[in-house]
């Protein structure tokens, strides 16, 4: 026979545990980023050449856990890693319509301009950078407010563009893909694509055999990326924001958990998906803590 007091104690314990877990997922985990490190040598990477690449993704400034002061903290933490290259993977703004008291794009862009990397700092846009921009959505074209703010701060936005760099590891191509979901929420003329991505045109700019890194906000494009690309870097998924035992119940990808998080190697090709730093839609993280990614190549 069940003891009434024991049943009540058990129920109370379950309630308090759930409350504590919810508090952790809302108040603690989303607000404390760490550094996730990868050591990679893509198949075509030259022997003896090393390069440190810092990746910042999905800040969602203006969201419940991302004031401009935290962007400043993230930049300081990234600079302490002494990267050779700093790559920003999009979704700089909150995942909702802009509020009047949201930080101006120039504010968070000024903080990102403090990033120090000897080989340069480069960005691509994410879907929310497009979705929050009413003019870009109305006219179905950029530049977005995020683009203008970043470039005014001295950070090039690579939209279907590849550039060749001279780095301490030798020549290197950095390619940036236009966002694949720029106009998902907007009614479009018949035949008008909902993304601004153009992978073939982007890769056509690469005219020699130097290593090539592709920045693409959404990881789904990786299924189409050719072997010429040595490393693809993506964000967007937030690792699902809730990740239990290496599995996320909800992933904003048509491939589900295949490209949800971390280092993925398929057919000799390498992809790294960052869990990002801010939150999207639900203001929680559980088992998918915010992260700055540092990739040591070579």
DSSP string for the chain: ---HHHHHHHHHHHHHHHHHHHHIIIIIGGG--EEEEEEE--TTSPTT--EEEEEE----BTSTT--HHHHHHHHHHHHTT--SEEEE-S--B-SSSPPTTSPPHHHHHHHHTT---TT-EEE---HHHHHT-HHHHHHT----HHHHHHHHTT--B-SSEEEEEEETTEEEEEEEPPPTTTTTTS---TT--S----HHHHHHT--S-S-EEEE-SSGGGGGG--TT-SEEEE-SSGGGSB-BTTB-S--SSTTGGGGSSEEEEETTEEEEE---SS--SS---BS---EEEEEEE-
Nearest to 58 by CA among 288, 239, 277: 277
pLDDT of residue 4: 55
pTM of the model: 0.92
Report pLDDT for 23.
79
pLDDT at 13: 52
Q: What is residue 25's predicted lDDT score, i.e. its pLDDT?
A: 84
Domain boundaries, the chain: 32-297
Decide: 132 and 125 in contact? Cβ < 8 Å: no
The pLDDT value recorded for residue 18 is 54
CATH for 32-297 is 3.60.21.10
Cα 105 to its chain centre, rounded Å, is 17
CA atoms within 13 A on the CB side of 282: 13
What confidence score (pLDDT) does residue 256 get? 96
HSE-CB for 119 with a 13 A CA cutoff:
23
Q: Which residues of the chain have pLDDT under 50?
A: 1-2, 8, 10-12, 14-16
pLDDT for 6 equals 57
Nearest to 66 by CA among 116, 19, 107, 100: 107
- pLDDT (0 to 100) of residue 14: 45
What is the predicted pLDDT for the residue at 26?
Answer: 85
pLDDT at 15 (0 to 100): 45
């Amino acid at each position: 026979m069940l003891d009434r007091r024991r049943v009540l104690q058990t129920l109370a314990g379950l309630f308090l545990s759930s409350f504590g877990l919810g508090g952790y997922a809302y108040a603690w985990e989303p607000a404390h980023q760490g550094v996730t490190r990868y050591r990679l040598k893509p198949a075509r990477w030259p022997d003896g050449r090393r390069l440190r690449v810092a990746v910042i993704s999905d800040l969602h400034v203006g969201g419940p856990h991302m004031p401009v002061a935290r962007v400043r903290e993230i930049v300081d933490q990234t600079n302490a890693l002494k990267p050779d290259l700093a790559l920003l993977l999009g979704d700089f703004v909150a995942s909702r319509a802009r509020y009047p008291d949201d930080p101006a794009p120039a504010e968070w862009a000024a903080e990102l301009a403090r990033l120090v990397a000897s080989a340069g700092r480069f960005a691509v846009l994410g879907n929310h950078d497009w979705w929050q921009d009413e003019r870009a959505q109305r006219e179905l074209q950029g530049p977005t407010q995020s683009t203008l703010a970043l470039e005014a701060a001295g950070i090039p936005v690579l939209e279907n563009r590849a550039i060749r760099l001279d780095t301490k590891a030798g020549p290197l191509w950095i390619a940036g893909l236009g966002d694949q979901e720029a106009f998902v929420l907007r009614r479009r003329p018949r035949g008008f694509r909902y993304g601004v991505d153009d992978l073939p045109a982007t890769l056509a700019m690469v005219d020699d055999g130097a290593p090539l890194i592709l920045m693409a906000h959404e990881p789904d494009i990786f299924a189409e990326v050719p072997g010429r690309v040595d490393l693809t870097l993506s964000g967007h998924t937030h690792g699902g924001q809730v990740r239990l035992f290496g599995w996320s119940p909800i992933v904003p990808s048509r491939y589900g958990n295949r490209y949800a998080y971390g280092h993925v190697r398929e057919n000799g090709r390498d992809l790294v998906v960052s869990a990002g730093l801010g939150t999207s839609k639900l203001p929680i993280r559980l088992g998918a803590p915010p992260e700055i990614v540092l990739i040591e190549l070579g």
